[in-house]
Amino acid sequence: MLNVVLFGPPGAGKGTQADLLVQKYELKHLSTGDILRNEIKNKSELGLKAQSYMDSGNLVPDRVVIDMISKKIDNNMDVKGFIFDGFPRTTTQAEALDKLLDEKCIPIKIMLSLTVDDEVLIKRLIKRGLESGRADDQNQKIIENRIKEYNKKTSPLKDYFKLQEKLEEIAGMGSIEEISKKIHSALDKI
């Protein structure tokens, strides 16, 4: 299976690039943010648990997202691969994902890490907030907290995947097409 971790700070363009990859490589896109927002919309128990964390821009507890992603993997074993978007976000999540996938002999093949400057991220997120109405994109304080959470808890995962020789850094500034070309050539090398 072509299992890809799409990595980068909030606003790096992970969702946009994931949509393009889904079409080209027939992969299943698993975005923990999208799954959680859907749970909130449906007012499920899981959604209720996650909402306060998300509204303030903090990470949802590891156990909640790990169980959620594990179910999604089990229910989609007929695909050509998974794009993990917004997951893993902590070392605990990365270790849990490795364990889940190793048990099924379908390891992560590559981590594509999109790099974008902080000022550009904040501008993109504020713009997205105006267009999409996403609650956590509406307020600069919440946006800054998400970037802070990313820098503190998530960004160290680059080293985790680098040690496994799976890290591929992609400059995430430029046009959508330019970035997706770089991603395609990284994937075609595998």
What residue ranges bind ligand ADP (CB under 6 A)?
Answer: 10-11, 32-33, 36, 53-54, 57-60, 65, 86-87, 89, 93, 136, 146
Closest CA to 169 of 153, 181, 182, 160: 182
Which C-beta is closer to ligand ADP: that of 8 or that of 182? 8
User: Most distant CA pair in the chain: distance in Å?
Assistant: 43
Residue bearing tokens 């999208």: 34
Smallest separation, CB 53 to ligand ADP (Å): 5
Residue bearing tokens 């303030």: 56
Q: Which amino acid is present at 98?
A: D
Nearest residue to the partner ligand ADP, using Cβ: 33
Which C-beta is closer to ligand ADP: that of 8 or that of 187? 8
Which C-beta is closer to ligand ADP: that of 59 or that of 190? 59
Smallest separation, CB 187 to ligand ADP (Å): 21
Which C-beta is closer to ligand ADP: that of 75 or that of 78? 75
Smallest separation, CB 190 to ligand ADP (Å): 24
**156 upstream amide cis, omega within 30 of 0:** no
Smallest separation, CB 80 to ligand ADP (Å): 23
Closest CA to 23 of 148, 190, 184, 189: 184
The C-alpha angle with vertex 149 and arms to 145 and 152, in degrees rounded to 5, equals 135
Which C-beta is closer to ligand ADP: that of 93 or that of 113? 93
Smallest separation, CB 78 to ligand ADP (Å): 24
Which C-beta is closer to ligand ADP: that of 60 or that of 183? 60
Question: If residue 44 lies in a helix (H) or strand (E), which one and from where to where?
Answer: none
Smallest separation, CB 97 to ligand ADP (Å): 10
The C-alpha angle with vertex 131 and arms to 126 and 132, in degrees rounded to 5, equals 95
Alpha-carbon distance of 98 to 107, in angstroms, equals 7
